[in-house]
Structures are given as structure tokens and as C-alpha cells.
Amino acid sequence: MKKLNIAFFGAPSFAARVLQRIIDDKNLPITVVLVVTQPDRPAGRKQISTSTPVKLLAQKNNIPVFDDSSLTTNDQRLQDVDIALLYAYGAIIPSDILKIPRWGFWNIHPSLLPKYRGASPIAYSLLMGDKTTGVSLIQMDERMDHGPILSQQTYEIQKEDTREDLENKLSDIGYELFKQSVQLLINGTLQKVEQNNSNRTFTRLLTKQDGYIPFPIVQKIIKRVILKNNEIPPIITEYCNKYQLTTNHPSTSLRVNQPLTTYYDLFRGLSPWPGLWTVFPINGIEKRLKITRMTLSTNHPSTSLRVNQPLRPKVWAKGPSPFGGYRPLGEITHVQLEGKKEVSLETFQKAYGSFLNI
């Protein structure tokens, strides 16, 4: 059987993860003949020109790789492509180019479409407190994340999952969906299901400001003071207002009567960038403080899961709760002052408690 020629479009490390699995799977009846990615861009403090992880992987495996600026309608490099697979590519594909591959463009999208179309589906599934998310493989059309669904699978979000965790886990699911759909295509049994556009929602690009928390709220979190409903993070209220949801709407799974858990969800969704941060004055000079680790448990008052860390004792508060008589509290465990190394909150409080009133 002749193998299908595949063009892969992607950029970040979790897209490279999918490309690596495709390259490694010798039983998959495809050949990656072309990789398209974003141009090299300055990165880091020294602004050194840096290639995307997808480009580096393609070069390592001697696969022709180009950036998107070189693509044209008459591009001969796409003429012999059977399927173009796109994942976290970061750019719009012109409609005339969408028509070039024999079976079109397929897109791995890490959400249960039509929910969370757009740029940041993984972050939103976490910061909105969802219990489940998933991956959709769609046939692309001219509209963003709009095309018919070829395959879809759900994933139950674990309470310790960060955005990086989900990027990897959902990427693995996306690869499996692609693999299965290729086989169905070859067998002539691949089916398409149109999305229910009446249920569509959109996410936007994250900004640095999304991670900002006013210091009075940080103080409340540290002191374990229950927050008010109007102190829910702006990125969450923005989404709820846009789609006319209350913050305790069943579709958001938000625990408004447990608002500290909402900041823990925000921490997971915005980790590692932009992260959670605040500013406060020390001797009249404003300093940026990053919240580098948070913890939350809903299992038992004696233990708590910390992101990528082992179990440890935790303080709980008694009170009405859907979790068996205890109210889970979001807790900051580690911080980093600008220009300094990460330290435990306990160490930080000893040094700066008089400035912070905590």
C-alpha cells in the first residue's frame, strides 16, 4: 500500500511532541514530506534568534522545513501532499491554500469543539474550573475551528493538572485520533460530523495582564480569607459575561462559594506564562512578586496535592462544602520576588512580612 504524503504545520514543543510520535510510528502508513512552522524570532533576555521546537525536530530528522511566509497558492511543495495536519500553528491558513492537499487540512484542537474555539483552549478549560476537556480532530474550512469533526475524545481533568500537563496529555490523544482517522480514511469509512455552532464559544490570546492579582486579594489568599464574588479574576468574568453565564453556571463548573479554588484554577491555567503575579511597595519602590506554586486539596483534611510535588500536611477550614464537610482553601506555597530566587512563602513572610502586612 502506498503511504500518504503528509505536511505538518505547527510550532511549539507540544506540537513537536505529536510530530515526533508520527515520525517514530513505523506502522503508520504516512510519510512526512514537509514541515511548515513560524519564522525564527528573538527570545530570552538577550533576544537571540530562536527556531521553533517543530523546526528543530524537522531539521534533526532531515525533513524539509519552511516558515509560513514562503507559502503561496502555486507552491509546488504542497501539490503532492495528501493531508496537511495542523496543530498549534499560530497563523491563519489562506482559503486557497486549504484546497491544495488531496484530503485537505486537518486540525488537532485541544478542546471539545465547538466549545473553546480560538487561541487558548487548554488554558480556559483549567481557569474555568472544568472537570472534563478533550481533543477534536476537524477538517478545516475558512472559519476558525469551524469545520466538521472527524474524531473527538474526552479527558477527565486531574486536580493537579497544569497547562503544561494538559498540553502533553492532550497532544498524545490528538496523535491517536489522527492515527485512527488516517486508517479510517484508507478504509473508506471516515465520517464527518458538523459542529453545533449554536454552542460555540471562543477563547482569546493570553496577555501578561491576565496573571495580575491585586495585592489585597493576594493578602486574603495568604490569610485564608474567603473572597467575595466580585473578586473573581477578570479573565473569567469576561468569558462568563460574553456568553451570558453566571459564574456558577453548570457549564463552567465554577465553585463561586469556593472562590479560593478559582484562583488555584487560574494558577493552573496560566502556568507557566503569564503566571500569577502582583506588585507591592518596599521602601517606596514597587516590586513584582510572582506566585510560583499553589496547592489545593478536596480529598481529606490531612493531605494536599501540590503541583508536581508530593503530598504534605495542609490547613483546612470547617464549613458547608460539597466535599464532605470541609472547605478546600487555595494556598500559596512558593513565591519569587523580582531579581531573587524562588522561596517558600514561610521564608518570604519572615523577610518581608512587615512590608506586606501578612
Q: What span, in angstroms and rounded, lies between the C-alpha atoms of 177 and 180?
A: 5
List the grid coordinates of 232. Answer: 473573581
Q: What span, in angstroms and rounded, lies between the C-alpha atoms of 297 and 293?
A: 14
Cα dihedral value 16, 17, 20, 26, nearest 10: -140
Any binding-site annotation on 251? Answer: no
Phi and psi of 228, rounded to 5°? -90, 160
How far apart, in Å, are the Cα atoms of 144 and each of 105, 200, 346?
13, 11, 46
Count CB neighbours of 344 within 10 A: 13
What is the amino acid identity at position 154?
Answer: T
The DSSP result for 223-239, as a single string, is: HTPPPPGGGS-HHHHHH
Helix (H, G, I), strand (E, B) or coil at 187: helix
Residue 22: enclosing H or E segment and its boundaries? helix 13-24
List the grid coordinates of 190. Answer: 471516515
Any binding-site annotation on 114? Answer: yes
How far apart, in Å, are the Cα atoms of 343 and each of 333, 348, 351?
9, 6, 11
Any binding-site annotation on 329? Answer: no
Sign of CA pseudo-dihedral 273, 274, 275, 279: positive
Q: What span, in angstroms and rounded, lies between the C-alpha atoms of 55 and 66?
A: 8
Asked if residue 310 lies in contact with residue 283, where contact means CB atoms within 8 angstroms, the answer is no
Any binding-site annotation on 259? Answer: no
**DSSP label at 168?**
H
Q: What span, in angstroms and rounded, lies between the C-alpha atoms of 75 and 93?
A: 13
Name the binding residues: 111-114
Name the binding residues for (6S)-5,6,7,8-tetrahydrofolate: 111-114
